[in-house]
Amino acid sequence: MAEEILMTALSPTMEEGTILKWNKQEQQPIASGDLLCEVETDKASMDYESSQEGTLLKIIIKEGAMARVGQPIGVIGEKGEDIKALLKEIEKAAASAPSTSPPSTPPTTTAPSSATATAPAPVAAEAPSASGRVKASPLARRLAQERGIEINQVSGSGPRGRIVAKDVPRAVSTPTAGAAPFRSSLVEQTIPVSGVRAVIAKRLIESKFNAPHYYLSLTIDMEAAMRARAVLNKGRDPRVSLNAFLIKFAAEAIRRHPEINSSWQGDHILQFGSVDIGLAVDAGKGLNTPVVRDCLSLGVLDIEQQLVALINKARSGTLKPEDYQGNTFCISNLGSFGIDEFTAIINPPAAAILAIGRTQKMPVIDEGGAIVVRPRMKVTLSADHRAVDGALAAAFLQEMKQLMEDPARLLY
């Protein structure tokens, strides 16, 4: 008997998703566990594996269209089964349901007029709505931003002219004839909030206003750490990143001060049994924090290997929830942007986050009273005062400084 294929929650925070690609076509058989389609959630592009068996009788939500969790995206049943009545029920339910996302193409039982009919050419993107918003998927907007393309200059091939991801490369390869390559002035525009940015905003607002943040800063002499990194990277390509070293130093400082590796739980403080450090990464459409697990059992090279894999997944939008949830400590490094120092917002469930500034050469007075030039880096620890007292945070930060200024301390 034919039944609906429902959009399922592919991440804990998912409320709706965009169909990026159907991996099965109508009238194709489906087995349990088959990859049915690819869905863009509020966090990443994820695979939708079928839990049903039968024949895909109808695709309701087309590629590039959005569906709420629990909304029918297709129909599965026995080959040749009559599904007209079921499609009418689905269409009736869709018409009566409140719309919270761009409408998808409604189901229809009308067969194509010709088996050889050509696919419709992309239509021009819809004119902005009253709010000034051009209809486009979050992924399409990110791709356009990365390529420096105005989204309203892209022709959409999705339902009702909606711009989807595959339209953006086409706009790059076939620019509009006579269009000026550069704009001479800024253009006022309304930028929609993507699902991932909305989730990040909600989580950080809760952290900032619920957790009483306080901040401790100090300056670290980076000469020894830079020398150790240079020795490890000698003849190595690609080079091991500074972030891998920072994670290792932080993990070892936590080993000596495990109370920093905690979370406020209301009626108790949870001190974690493993050190799982998240690194804030700009993924193009919002910040993500992929997590390196069990850092105390890993060397710098192991940490680097995991980091490379996680950062690539973050930037390609393929992070799974287990890749970015459950950090016990966090690091945010803006040194590569030339930032001297900053304060970061704690990323729950952790009770602390370390903000890293750039390394720069500065004149300092050595122990003999002479002025010398040394590479120095400013770091700032943000801590949740409910779980981490000031003296504990200061001891942790001092330990971090001593480890980085004398990496041999890692051996004892």
Q: Which residues are catalytic?
A: 385, 389
3-state secondary structure of 236: coil
Cα distances from 256 to residues 215, 347, 410, in angstroms, run 20, 22, 11
Question: Which tokens go with 319?
Answer: 């992070």
Place of tokens 């905690």: 262
> In this structure, what are the phi and psi dihedrals at residue 217, rounded to the nearest 5 degrees?
-125, 150
Compute the 3-state secondary structure of the chain and give helix, strand, coil in percent, each to the nearest 5.
Answer: 30, 25, 45
- Alpha-carbon distance of 108 to 132, in angstroms, equals 31
3-class secondary structure, 67: strand
Beta strands in 348-407 (DSSP E): 352-365, 371-384
Structure tokens at 48: 């939708």
Whether 322 contacts 262, CB under 8 Å: no
Kindly report the length of the chain: 412
- As given in the structure block, the two tokens for residue 71 are 């909304």
Helix (H) or strand (E) holding 197: helix 195-210
Tell me, what amino acid is at 278?
Answer: G
CA nearest to 380, candidates 351, 339, 341, 329 = 341
Burial of residue 220, with CB atoms counted within 10 A of its CB: 0-12 exposed, 13-18 middle, 19 or more buried:
buried
Q: Quick one: 334 exposed, middle or buried, by C-beta within 10 A (0-12, 13-18, 19+)?
A: middle
CB-based contacts of 180, cutoff 8 Å, min separation 6: none
